[in-house]
Amino acid sequence: MNQTKRQAIFDRLAATIPEPTTELTYSSPFELLIAVVLSAQATDKSVNKATAQLFPIANTPESILNLGEAGLKEHIKTIGLFNSKAANIMQLCRQVLEKHNGQVPQTRDELEALPGVGRKTANVILNTAFGHPTIAVDTHIFRVANRTRIAPGKNVLEVERKLDKYVPKAHKKDAHHLLILHGRYTCTARKPKCPDCIIADLCEFKKKSV
């Protein structure tokens, strides 16, 4: 795929999704961090349902630690892997307090040093909370990047590096959410909605149903 086609793809996605953002509900960088940690192998809808009960009573490192691990589990028990997530969040809260004065750090290395935070989560926080032009590659983005041939790669890191290289500069800040939303609602895993896709004529997917 050439850059002219990539530019056209992102121009169209941006025009169709004028305010791309996460579907997780949050009101601070720390709330977003907790929500993203909880979202691993879980839907945004299930996370939002849990945090709607959790955040009004505990939405800072101190208040979650005061709630205790057992109390935290009560609020997130409807989310997959809640036991390990609760343990990680408690350790994460301690580290944020002890090493970062209670503030979410703004570098990838510092974020990845937190329990339960990997490269993908760190990229989401850098992009969504702090406006950095990072692109976290989840299952939706991995699929869209390979299927359309915008940035094909055999693994997540390869796709991330190609996206970083090829996404037009003007769209880099929003690319993460543009691709996620396109993958979630149009370029779906089992039955992509090619007839309704605004980039179908630009996409290089050989099996598209247009």
User: CATH homologous superfamily for 29-130?
Assistant: Hypothetical protein; domain 2 (1.10.340.30)
Of 5, 49, 73, 120, which one is the catalytic site residue?
Answer: 120
- 141 near 182, Cβ under 8 Å? no
Q: Is 93 annotated in some ligand binding site?
A: no
pLDDT tens track for 156-167: 999 999 999 999
User: Do the domains spanning 3-20+135-202 and 29-130 agree at the CATH topology level?
Assistant: no
pLDDT tens track for 74-126: 999 999 899 999 999 999 999 999 999 999 999 999 999 999 999 999 999 99
Q: Looking at the whole model, is its pTM more than 0.85?
A: yes
Structure tokens at 100: 């970062």
**CA nearest neighbour of 65 among 45, 79, 48, 86:** 86
138 is catalytic: yes
- Exposure of 70 by Cβ count < 10 A (0-12 exposed, 13-18 middle, 19+ buried)? exposed
Of 85, 138, 172, 174, which one is the catalytic site residue?
Answer: 138
pLDDT tens track for 193-204: 999 999 999 999
Residue spans per domain, the chain: 3-20+135-202, 29-130
pLDDT of residue 207: 84
pLDDT tens track for 123-145: 999 999 999 999 999 999 999 99
| Topology (CATH level 3) of domain 3-20+135-202 | Endonuclease Iii, domain 2 (1.10.1670)
Q: What gap in Å lies between CA 149 and CA 91, rounded to an integer?
A: 40
Give the torsion sign (CA, 31, 116, 129, 65).
positive
